[in-house]
Structure 1
Amino acid sequence: MEEEPKLHRRISVHQALGGGLAADVLLWRKWYGGVVVLVSETILWLVFERAGYNLISFVANVLLLLVVFLFFWAKAASLLNRSLPPLPDLIISEESICNAADILQIWINRAMYIAHDIAIERNLVLSIQVAAVFLVISVIGSLFNFLTLIYLGVLLSLSVPLLYDKYQDRIDNKMYTMHQIIQTQYRKFENNVLRNIPIPSNKAKKME
Structure 2
Amino acid sequence: MAEHAGEHESAAESLMEKISEKIRGHDSSSSSSDSDDDKPSPIEAVKSKIFRLFGREKPVHKVMGGGKVADIILWRNKKISAGVLGGATALWVLFELLEYHLITLVCHILILSLAMFFLWSNASTFINKSRPHIPDVSIPEDYFLQVASALRIEINRAMTLLHDIASGRDLKKFLTVIAGLWVLSIVSSWCNFLTLFYVVFILLHTVPVVYEKYDDKIDSFAEKAMVEIKRQYAVFDAKVLSKIPRGPLKEKKKD
Q: What is the aligned partner in structure 1 of residue 104 from structure 2?
A: 57
State, as a whole percentage, how many aligned pairs show the same letter. 36
3-state SS of paired residue (1:85): coil
| Number of residues of Structure 1 aligned to a counterpart in Structure 2 | 201
Q: What is the aligned partner in structure 2 of residue 130 from structure 1?
A: 177
* Separation (CA, whole Å) in 1 of partners of 2:107 and 2:196: 23
* Separation (CA, whole Å) in 1 of partners of 2:59 and 2:166: 39
Q: What is the aligned partner in structure 2 of residue 20 from structure 1?
A: 67
Per the TM alignment, residue 154 of structure 1 is displaced from its structure 2 partner at its CA by 2.7
Q: What is the aligned partner in structure 2 of residue 149 from structure 1?
A: 196
Does the alignment pair 1:85 with 2:129?
no
Counterpart contact for 1:26–1:34, Cα < 8 Å:
yes
Q: Which moved more, 1:75-84 or 1:174-183?
A: 75-84
* Separation (CA, whole Å) in 1 of partners of 2:134 and 2:149: 32
* Separation (CA, whole Å) in 1 of partners of 2:73 and 2:166: 40
Q: What is the aligned partner in structure 1 of residue 16 from structure 2?
A: none
* Separation (CA, whole Å) in 1 of partners of 2:71 and 2:192: 29
- Asked which structure has the greater RCO (Cα within 8 Å, sep 6+), the reply is 1
Question: For residue 32 of structure 1, what is the amino acid of its counterpart?
Answer: K
Q: TM-score, normalised by structure 2?
A: 0.65
What are the Cα deviations for residues 172-196 of structure 1, in whole angstroms up to 9, with x where unaligned?
A: 1111221122122222222322222
Q: Which moved more, 1:173-182 or 1:46-55?
A: 46-55
Counterpart contact for 1:25–1:34, Cα < 8 Å:
yes
Task: Find 2:216's aligned residue among 169, 177, 185.
Answer: 169
- Based on CA coordinates, which of the two structures has the bigger radius of gyration? 2
Per the TM alignment, residue 44 of structure 1 is displaced from its structure 2 partner at its CA by 2.3
Gaps of 5+ in 2: 1-44
3-state SS of paired residue (1:159): helix
Q: What is the aligned partner in structure 1 of residue 51 from structure 2?
A: 7
Gaps of 5+ in 1: none
What are the Cα deviations for residues 80-109 of structure 1, in whole angstroms up to 9, with x where unaligned?
A: 67355342x533333223322332232222
Q: What is the aligned partner in structure 1 of residue 20 from structure 2?
A: none
Question: For residue 181 of structure 1, what is the amino acid of its counterpart?
Answer: E
Q: What is the aligned partner in structure 2 of residue 67 from structure 1?
A: 114
Per the TM alignment, residue 163 of structure 1 is displaced from its structure 2 partner at its CA by 1.0
